[in-house]
Structure 1
Amino acid sequence: MHYSLARAGLEARVLMSGGRECGGRSGGDRPAAPARVGGRQVGVAASMLLGCGSASHTRGALVLASSGGGGGGAGSGARVCSGTGSGRVARRRGPGRGPGTRHGAAEGRRRGAGAAATAAERRVPDPAERAGEAAGALPRHLQLYQGVYHLRGLILGAQDRAGRHQLPVSGTPPTPTPPRPAPTTARELFLALGPRDPDPLLNPFFSFGLLNSNSFTVIRDDAFAGLFHLEYLFIEGNKIETISRNAFRGLRDLTHLSLANNHIKALPRDVFSDLDSLIELDLRGNKFECDCKAKWLYLWLKMTNSTVSDVLCIGPPEYQEKKLNDVTSFDYECTTTDFVVHQTLPYQSVSVDTFSSKNDVYVAIAQPSMENCMVLEWDHIEMNFRSYDNITGQSIVGCKAILIDDQVFVVVAQLFGGSHIYKYDESWTKFVKFQDIEVSRISKPNDIELFQIDDEKFFVIADSSKAGLSTVYKWNSKGFYSYQSLHEWFRDTDAEFVDIDGKSHLILSSRSQVPIILQWNKSSKKFVPHSDIPNMEDVLAVKSFRMQSSLYLSLTRFIGDSRVMRWNNKQFVEVQALPSRGAMTLQPFSFKDNHYLALGSDYTFSQIYQWDKEKQLFVKFKEIYVQAPRSFTAVSTDRRDFFFASSFKGKTKIFEHIIVDLSL
């Protein structure tokens, strides 16, 4: 009587990893003798489970395959192995499971010789066997023999297993085993083949596994734990959709792995990392999503020494029906960026400026409420910004660093008490007052802009009072002196130096008129009125930036929409309008090829926009919360990028710009 794995939808089959078939020919032309139970032939698979058959010089192998095919039947009786002996296999199985001594092995060989000859004469190939062999379903050296699910438990019971599985009376079929749920994972599939306590198939000596045409969908972590010497594993024709990252952990001897003809669309990163001996990998018959999740596999295919079948893509549309190896690049598509809070400074501020000196990075922060200009230094060990020096004053609204040769100056603009210039004194390792700025010209400073024309250093202070004058100052090797007063009564809020078509310009913003553009006259070496930006009243600040060699301006408006404009070789034309009610700053900044705009609002969350190359527009990227932001400043150090968000009513925040790999 034949007992298959119908309840599990499977059958246990055992194959010799050396290529010889148990129950076939094991040496010369002499066929190996099958095992017998109660005088009946039980098939070579059962012989393997018992340690019977001509297997003394080969290693066992676990094979899990679909139902069907010929094989031996199972009878009943008290005798377990007839006509065979295998000391080697039996010793692996442990005491009490077979002839595990040298005498037992020798005795088995003597008995097996006679039984094998008899079996060779009696055995007539089954027609189904011949048809299967002719069909070539598997290579000849991988042809399988059917095992017996219930018989395995009976045989173990016959080997003094404390009476747990008793052989039935001769001629009586075994009691049917209650139905078990169909296994859904590889681990369950293995465990479905026998009793719960020590599983003789799950031992380190099995080297071949075949899990074909089943219905399980998941291979979880450590599904093959304990099979340290497994060399061949074929998991084909199933419905596998998910494979855990550590599914094949511990299979360091595995040389051949097939996952063909499943429903796999993606594999977890480094799922093959433990397969040190892998020679061949078959992924045919799966349709992979060749998106960011496949990036690691794309890179692994480029580096591995294993032979891997073609990996076909089902998507995205541009890669459909193409090979994964033909994908051009994942670099741009599989990375994005983000801004995360790196450090919070427990004080208010209105402006931030950065400078570098002797390979160190510094930041100068204006703190009007604390009457300080705080200088921070990047700490290469602690990886944060720490206090370096503190310049005191009265209602400081701006700190601007100027580097001339090896000297570092800081222009400190104050609302009261006049503005001053400080110089770093190395002997004192601090900033000391270097020069005063005329009170008569600067009454209410609002912005400081540094620039250079023909190797000469300048800075301009925009004055926002009716009584003040926006003034340009020039370096004369001994100090800075007043060089040019720009215009009166316009209440300038911002000054921006910009190079337009190779010529130097200043753009002055004012709440009382549209922004005006001044051009540097090379003859008089003065700025003269040139043009304006029409229809843009009430602009608080103008900032210039470049993308792909094109010149752009960002214009901040407190009421109405802020604007992004581009120079078209004749004038600035509008590119985009950004809703900005309550905005005090619209700051452009870039990190490598990523271009951003930070829009700070007093009424709502601040917005970070990112430039979209396809749309040629800035799109919303991230919201950040900063109370009453007044400036955003990009700072780079130690291959890390940051931007400072000053806050007039809350804490100053330092955000780090990070690269996020979407393929992880």
Structure 2
Amino acid sequence: LQTVVHLLAKRIFKCPSGCTCTSDSIICVGSSFIPRAVPIFKKKQTERCLFCDRKTLLNLLLSSNSLSNIKEDAFSGLPHLEYLFIEGNKIDAIIAGTHRIIKQAQVCLLIELFFVHNIRDLRGNLFQCDCESKWLMLWLKRSNATVSDVYCAGPADLKGLLMKDVPDKHAKCISTDFVSHQIINTQSMSADIFFYKEDIYAALPVPDSDSCIIMEWDHIETKFRPFDNITGQSVIGCRSVLINEQSFVIVTQLFNGSRIYKFNQEQNKFTKFQAVEMLNVSKPNDIEVFRIGDEQFFLIVDSSKAGVSTLFRWNDTGFFPHQFLHEWFRDTDAEFFDLDGKAALILTSRSQPPIIYQWNKGNQMFVLYDEIPNMDDMVSVKAFRINNILYLAMAYYIGDSKVLKWTGKNFVEVQGMPSRGAMVLQPFMFKDQHYLVLSSDYSFSQIYRWDKEKQLFIKFREVYVQWPRSFTPLSTGQRDFLFATSFKGKSKVFEHVSVDYS
């Protein structure tokens, strides 16, 4: 162990055994410890503000020790430090924040300049060429200073490579995260976000309060605030639909039928427009709203053995039953999507595999097209595309939720995700990133991110929502949010943010 400490002013102390002391330095060769005149290193690393009581320190030699890393602000409080020697250690990372260590130094202001004059030798240190070392790799690439060769110790594909020669792609350490943005003290089954007259709204069915709560987005506060409250009986679904520049909200109830409400501009609220004929609907579970050409439809999914999933069609005066689908099968969810240029519907069921219907232009009806075998008892289904390739995301409550890919002839499974209490496997896209969020009634919900090279979704983050029932994306301006509803707790809004892990 060799340690050399230079001081600006004389200090009176007893020279440690095995060391040679002069008026301005302490030189210890072969010593097993660092003199008391210098704060002791702990755990083979430099602690924060380690030399705060040594403000007169000029030169610091930490050569040939067993230091493995240097923490951020380890050398803060050293306004006169001019030279730092750290060769011959086991350092594999220097935290980027160390560029603040000499804010008032006469020689330099930032770590980039500090290296030119102060860090003379980096030999003997094997750095991990990862995000934490990104700043050092960039400096080595850009600097014209004479610095000894520094090699990567890892990761495996970069081992032995000069840090200055690391490809730029390995230095891309910008990632994303989901952070809590707003907590809404409302329990809900879903959140339908819709746009009307340059404003943003969310329709939340709240069974416990027998209402459909309409919330409005505050563009200044960037949060949702209460706007309207549509009362009913055991409300389990609220879906918006825009027809002829008029905004409607479809409200499904377990009792006393279902209703459609229209926005009244004069009263600035939604007022009753129509009572929906529900003769064959016994237990509504989902509402799917879609257009085919110029025609507007919505489908109420029935989850009872005695009911029928029913398609309704707009005829300029209201919505009326158009077709009965999938009788007696306890349907759980429906998704409208484009299948090779043709309108299609897929229904998941408690008692049989998912069924695909295709729209027949001739008779203006959905006709049975195919089924997806070995996928019984799926509770929800969502369609999405990556690079124009069609996928389905299907949630399984206890077991494996599935991601399926359309081959041009049928859907085939490409990935399974272990599920525990999953009610939804929701796809969404922010910026150029594709995600899936898998809900859980018993633990954290898992967010997966699409890996372009592996062509799979990789587990990325986890978020906690008590008994989540839906995850709805919202993009406004340059910001992205994810609205998560809770069946038994508080609903939450998460913001999708960029994070520089270097």
TM-score, length-scaled by structure 1: 0.61
Question: For residue 6 of structure 2, what is the aligned residue in structure 1?
Answer: none
Question: For residue 269 of structure 1, what is the aligned residue in structure 2?
Answer: 96
Given that 2:437 and 2:471 are in contact with CA atoms closer than 8 Å, whether structure 1 keeps it comes out as no
How far apart in 1 are the matches of 2:294 and 2:81? 69
Question: For residue 236 of structure 2, what is the aligned residue in structure 1?
Answer: 397
Alignment of 1:421-460 (within 5 A): 421-460=260-299
Could you tell me how far 1:261 is from its partner in structure 2?
3.8
Question: For residue 163 of structure 2, what is the aligned residue in structure 1?
Answer: 324
Once the two structures are superposed, what CA deviation does each residue of 1:409-457 show, in whole Å capped at 9, x if it has no partner?
Answer: 2211122222222222333222222333223354432211122333543
Alignment of 1:238-249 (within 5 A): 238-239=64-65, 241=67, 242-249=69-76
Once the two structures are superposed, what CA deviation does each residue of 1:153-173 show, in whole Å capped at 9, x if it has no partner?
Answer: xxxxxxxxxxxxxxxxxxxxx
User: If each structure's helix is expressed as a fraction of its own residues, which one has the higher value?
Assistant: 1
Counterparts in 2 of 1:382 and 1:301: CA distance versus 1, 3 Å: farther
Question: For residue 461 of structure 1, what is the aligned residue in structure 2?
Answer: 300
Question: For residue 289 of structure 1, what is the aligned residue in structure 2?
Answer: 128
How far apart in 2 are the matches of 1:315 and 1:184? 34
Counterparts in 2 of 1:617 and 1:246: CA distance versus 1, 3 Å: closer
Question: For residue 573 of structure 1, what is the aligned residue in structure 2?
Answer: 412
Given that 1:8 and 1:182 are in contact with CA atoms closer than 8 Å, whether structure 2 keeps it comes out as no
**1:643 has 2:482 as partner:** yes
State the secondary structure of the residue aligned to 2:346. strand
State the secondary structure of the residue aligned to 1:270. helix
Given that 1:608 and 1:621 are in contact with CA atoms closer than 8 Å, whether structure 2 keeps it comes out as yes
Question: For residue 9 of structure 1, what is the aligned residue in structure 2?
Answer: 19
Alignment of 1:121-132 (within 5 A): none
Once the two structures are superposed, what CA deviation does each residue of 1:68-121 show, in whole Å capped at 9, x if it has no partner?
Answer: 9xxxxxxxxxxxxxxxxxxxxxxxxxxxxxxxxxxxxxxxxxxxxxxxxxxxxx
Given that 1:497 and 1:506 are in contact with CA atoms closer than 8 Å, whether structure 2 keeps it comes out as yes
Question: For residue 610 of structure 1, what is the aligned residue in structure 2?
Answer: 448
Given that 1:495 and 1:541 are in contact with CA atoms closer than 8 Å, whether structure 2 keeps it comes out as yes
Counterparts in 2 of 1:609 and 1:10: CA distance versus 1, 3 Å: same
Alignment of 1:55-70 (within 5 A): none
Counterparts in 2 of 1:649 and 1:222: CA distance versus 1, 3 Å: closer
User: If each structure's strand is expressed as a fraction of its own residues, which one has the higher value?
Assistant: 2
**1:221 has 2:49 as partner:** yes
Code of the residue aligned with 1:450 in structure 2: it is V
Counterparts in 2 of 1:434 and 1:304: CA distance versus 1, 3 Å: farther
How far apart in 2 are the matches of 1:555 and 1:181? 62
Question: For residue 345 of structure 2, what is the aligned residue in structure 1?
Answer: 506
Question: For residue 223 of structure 2, what is the aligned residue in structure 1?
Answer: 384
How far apart in 1 are the matches of 2:32 and 2:367? 89
Given that 1:598 and 1:606 are in contact with CA atoms closer than 8 Å, whether structure 2 keeps it comes out as no
**1:597 has 2:425 as partner:** no
State the secondary structure of the residue aligned to 1:7. coil
Given that 2:51 and 2:74 are in contact with CA atoms closer than 8 Å, whether structure 1 keeps it comes out as yes
Once the two structures are superposed, what CA deviation does each residue of 1:296-323 show, in whole Å capped at 9, x if it has no partner?
Answer: 3334556678665543222222222222
State the secondary structure of the residue aligned to 1:354. strand
Of 564, 572, 580, the match for 2:403: 564
Could you tell me how far 1:265 is from its partner in structure 2?
1.9
Could you tell me how far 1:397 is from its partner in structure 2?
1.0
Which has the greater radius of gyration? 1
Counterparts in 2 of 1:258 and 1:344: CA distance versus 1, 3 Å: same
TM-score, length-scaled by structure 2: 0.79
Could you tell me how far 1:507 is from its partner in structure 2?
0.7
Once the two structures are superposed, what CA deviation does each residue of 1:579-616 show, in whole Å capped at 9, x if it has no partner?
Answer: 44654433333444142231334xx3254152463665
Given that 2:56 and 2:80 are in contact with CA atoms closer than 8 Å, whether structure 1 keeps it comes out as no
Given that 2:47 and 2:71 are in contact with CA atoms closer than 8 Å, whether structure 1 keeps it comes out as yes
State the secondary structure of the residue aligned to 1:427. coil
How far apart in 2 are the matches of 1:475 and 1:622? 42
RMSD (Å), alpha carbons: 3.8
Code of the residue aligned with 1:271 in structure 2: it is T
Could you tell me how far 1:288 is from its partner in structure 2?
1.4
Given that 1:292 and 1:330 are in contact with CA atoms closer than 8 Å, whether structure 2 keeps it comes out as no
How far apart in 2 are the matches of 1:472 and 1:403? 17
Once the two structures are superposed, what CA deviation does each residue of 1:161-197 show, in whole Å capped at 9, x if it has no partner?
Answer: xxxxxxxxxxxxxxxxxxx9942588459xxxxxxxx
Higher relative contact order (CA 8 A, sep 6+): 2
Identity %: 47
Once the two structures are superposed, what CA deviation does each residue of 1:501-547 show, in whole Å capped at 9, x if it has no partner?
Answer: 22221012232332211112234443221111123333332222233
Code of the residue aligned with 1:235 in structure 2: it is L
Which consecutive unaligned segments of at least 5 residues does structure 2 have?
A: 1-13
How far apart in 1 are the matches of 2:35 and 2:226? 60
How far apart in 2 are the matches of 1:622 and 1:376? 28
How far apart in 1 are the matches of 2:79 and 2:254? 73
Counterparts in 2 of 1:10 and 1:313: CA distance versus 1, 3 Å: farther
Question: For residue 335 of structure 2, what is the aligned residue in structure 1?
Answer: 496
Question: For residue 107 of structure 1, what is the aligned residue in structure 2?
Answer: none
Question: For residue 370 of structure 2, what is the aligned residue in structure 1?
Answer: 531
Once the two structures are superposed, what CA deviation does each residue of 1:8-36 show, in whole Å capped at 9, x if it has no partner?
Answer: 53454xxxxxxxxxxxxxxxxxxxxxxxx
Select between 341-350 and 442-451 the one with higher mean Cα deviation.
341-350
Question: For residue 183 of structure 1, what is the aligned residue in structure 2?
Answer: 34
How far apart in 1 are the matches of 2:226 and 2:171? 38
Code of the residue aligned with 1:327 in structure 2: it is V
Counterparts in 2 of 1:469 and 1:299: CA distance versus 1, 3 Å: same
Question: For residue 392 of structure 2, what is the aligned residue in structure 1?
Answer: 553
Counterparts in 2 of 1:219 and 1:543: CA distance versus 1, 3 Å: closer
Could you tell me how far 1:382 is from its partner in structure 2?
3.8
State the secondary structure of the residue aligned to 1:542. strand
Once the two structures are superposed, what CA deviation does each residue of 1:245-301 show, in whole Å capped at 9, x if it has no partner?
Answer: 334446667676554444322112231332326443434303212122212333455
Could you tell me how far 1:657 is from its partner in structure 2?
4.4
**1:413 has 2:423 as partner:** no
Could you tell me how far 1:645 is from its partner in structure 2?
3.6
Question: For residue 373 of structure 1, what is the aligned residue in structure 2?
Answer: 212
Question: For residue 198 of structure 1, what is the aligned residue in structure 2?
Answer: none
Aligned length: 470
Counterparts in 2 of 1:313 and 1:458: CA distance versus 1, 3 Å: same
State the secondary structure of the residue aligned to 2:191. strand
Counterparts in 2 of 1:10 and 1:431: CA distance versus 1, 3 Å: farther
Given that 1:588 and 1:598 are in contact with CA atoms closer than 8 Å, whether structure 2 keeps it comes out as no
Counterparts in 2 of 1:270 and 1:629: CA distance versus 1, 3 Å: closer
How far apart in 2 are the matches of 1:410 and 1:289? 56
Could you tell me how far 1:374 is from its partner in structure 2?
0.8
How far apart in 1 are the matches of 2:416 and 2:163? 41
How far apart in 1 are the matches of 2:62 and 2:487? 65
Which consecutive unaligned segments of at least 5 residues does structure 1 have?
A: 13-48, 50-61, 69-179, 190-215
Question: For residue 237 of structure 1, what is the aligned residue in structure 2?
Answer: 63
Given that 2:421 and 2:439 are in contact with CA atoms closer than 8 Å, whether structure 1 keeps it comes out as no
Code of the residue aligned with 2:437 in structure 1: it is L
Given that 2:178 and 2:494 are in contact with CA atoms closer than 8 Å, whether structure 1 keeps it comes out as yes
Once the two structures are superposed, what CA deviation does each residue of 1:598-645 show, in whole Å capped at 9, x if it has no partner?
Answer: 1334xx325415246366555555665555443333334454444344
